[in-house]
Amino acid sequence: MTAAIVSILLPVLVAAVAFLWPSDRTRPAWLVVGAAGHGAATAWALSRPSDMTQWLALDPPGRLVLGLVSLLFALCSVYGLGYLRARADRPNRIFCSAILLFLGTMTFITWTHHLGLMWVAIEATTLASAPLLYFNRNPRSLEATWKYLMVGSVGIALALLGSLFLGYAAAQAGGAPSLLFEDLFANAAGFSKPWLHAGFVLLAVGYGTKMGLAPMHTWKPDAYGEAPGLVGALLAGGMTNCAFLAIARVYRVMCAAGDAAFAGRILVILGLLSMGVAGVFMVRQRDFKRMLAYSSVEHMGILVLGLGLGGLGVFGAMLHMINNGVVKGVMFMSAGNIHRVYGSKLTGEVSGAIRVTPWSGALLLAGFIAVTGSPPFGPFVSEFTILNAAFEQHRYLVASGMLLFLLVVFIGMGTTVLPVVQGDPGPDTRLTEHRDGPLTIWPPFLLLIASLVMGVFMPAPIRDLVREAADYVGGVP
């Protein structure tokens, strides 16, 4: 319990200090302080066993997400120093405070072991992250913020209704009512099936909205397109994985109730639909930051597809959660760098990035190779694992659909990324004064190295965490 309180409240306290700090120039340093403290608290939490009977308890998938969020935020905080230095024209009091609160709320989700408390924590991430989308303070960022709030509110309302349905299904089983996940797992066999099924559908749609699954993905292109690069990285690699964690916990309830097949069918349909929709919208996409939003829709589809397949697919989904989160950090930060140099994110106005800003251009190109599931990077291993799970279960239509959509996405992303990176800047190209710097290059570079390591040789501690998470949710590879 002490580890939970420290890891959740420490970013909140640092956010309060950042808000009260008088200097815009030195305030971003508190991001690094918060990241360092959170990293230490995370290491402490991961090194000790967790009591699974408390409202705040770190289950195996929660441990996995907590470690990923802490790592991603640490590198984003370093990137934030360089980014906010380049954006000295903007006040950063709200930004620094909100992003630290965002870290605290994501951490809260990983620790929640109660169905109702988890809903509160996920709603808190929306409130903490919304101000981050409005950092540029223009009409498009305002529209993106409101769309994010409105669509997210609909999703969270559906999730609340699903939580009530699941709670009512549990009440029909008799005994003392409890919304602790451990009690839900233990008593799931006696739950009322109609209420349980309806609750799962509503929770999958509600939390799927937070993930950005199609057709509830409509907030993503605007939010990711207008948010600063490090915010996009935290949304795509942090918040969406926290929402996936919520679905994985509810999926475990369905498995305990003997309804894994029912839940699996819904998740496989949502997964393939998301991959297909993402592929369609990536073709001839002119805005490379919006393209990353559709890439996130695709990969959220891959996550729930693996979860829905069960067995080896769950292991692949848990592994892909890490790999996608790491690579999204590479893509969003390098794309943010290119956006600042050119002052545009449209392919018709951006070309020859690898010549103008060599490091960011090379990182975006390498990130494209990694995020499309090409070897030797981590996403190739996890996507191959999920595909192998479909073939092992003789679900050839599912496997064929996945392969087809991966091909469409590869072609669609390639037609956007390659013109941005290659060639020469046109004679009418107007470049800004911004260029690559160590603070904005090292974080995505280190994440790229991490993805390469995950693809070539997965460290044993990470593999153990992934296996424990998959076993806990319901899949044993």
Q: Span 427-445, mean pLDDT?
A: 87
Residue 114 has pLDDT above 70, yes or no: yes
Q: How much is the pLDDT for 1?
A: 56
279's tokens: 């592929």
Cβ neighbors of 138 (< 8 A, separation 6 or more) are: none
Mind listing the pLDDT tens digit for each residue in 32-46?
999 999 999 999 999
Mind listing the pLDDT tens digit for each residue in 249-259?
999 999 999 99
220-224, 284-288, 414-418, range with the lowest pLDDT? 284-288
Position 477 confidence tier, pLDDT thresholds 50, 70, 90: very low
Would you say residue 24 lies in a domain? Answer: no
H-state helical runs in 310-356? 312-342, 353-356
Residue 445 has pLDDT above 80, yes or no: yes
Would you say residue 70 lies in a domain? Answer: no
Four-residue CA torsion sign, 265, 270, 273, 274: negative
C-alpha 51 chain-centroid distance: 26
Q: How much is the pLDDT for 51?
A: 56
Position 3 confidence tier, pLDDT thresholds 50, 70, 90: confident
Would you say residue 62 lies in a domain? Answer: no
Mind listing the pLDDT tens digit for each residue in 169-213?
988 877 667 889 989 998 899 999 999 999 999 999 999 999 999
Would you say residue 340 lies in a domain? Answer: yes
- Distance between first and last Cα of the chain: 31
DSSP state for residue 236 in the 8-state scheme: I
Residue 101 has pLDDT above 90, yes or no: yes
Would you say residue 6 lies in a domain? Answer: no
Would you say residue 84 lies in a domain? Answer: no
Residue 348 has pLDDT above 60, yes or no: yes
Mind listing the pLDDT tens digit for each residue in 74-87?
999 999 999 999 99
Mind listing the pLDDT tens digit for each residue in 261-277?
999 999 999 999 999 99
For the full predicted model, state whether its pTM sits above 0.75: yes
Mind listing the pLDDT tens digit for each residue in 269-306?
999 999 999 999 998 889 999 999 999 999 999 999 99
Q: Span 45-70, mean pLDDT?
A: 87
CA distance 450 to 444: 10
Bridge partners, residue 279, by sequence: none
CA distance 106 to 234: 10
Residue 476 has pLDDT above 60, yes or no: no
H-state helical runs in 257-311? 260-282, 288-309
CA distance 198 to 229: 38
The beta-strand segments (E) located in 339-443 are none
Residue 55 backbone phi and psi in degrees, to 5:
-65, -35
- Domain interval for residue 290: 132-473
Q: How much is the pLDDT for 53?
A: 60
Q: Which amino acid is it at 15?
A: A
Mean confidence (pLDDT) of the chain: 93
Q: How much is the pLDDT for 407?
A: 96
Where do we find the tokens 């839900």? 184
Helix, strand or coil, per DSSP, at residue 157:
helix
Q: Provide, rounded to the nearest whole percent, the portion of the chain with pLDDT above 90.
A: 84
Q: Provide, rounded to the nearest whole percent, the portion of the chain with pLDDT above 70.
A: 97
C-alpha 272 chain-centroid distance: 18
Would you say residue 82 lies in a domain? Answer: no
Total domains present in the chain: 1
Mind listing the pLDDT tens digit for each residue in 157-173?
999 999 999 999 988 87
CA distance 263 to 307: 9
Cβ neighbors of 308 (< 8 A, separation 6 or more) are: 263, 264, 265, 266, 267, 268, 270, 271
**Residues 11, 238: contact at Cβ < 8 Å?**
no
Q: Span 8-20, mean pLDDT?
A: 96
**Residues 272, 195: contact at Cβ < 8 Å?**
no
> Which among 246, 250, 139 has a CA at the least distance from the CA of 197?
250
Residue 330 has pLDDT above 90, yes or no: yes
Would you say residue 27 lies in a domain? Answer: no
Q: Which amino acid is it at 433?
A: E
34-38, 310-314, 448-452, 472-476, range with the lowest pLDDT? 472-476
Position 333 confidence tier, pLDDT thresholds 50, 70, 90: very high
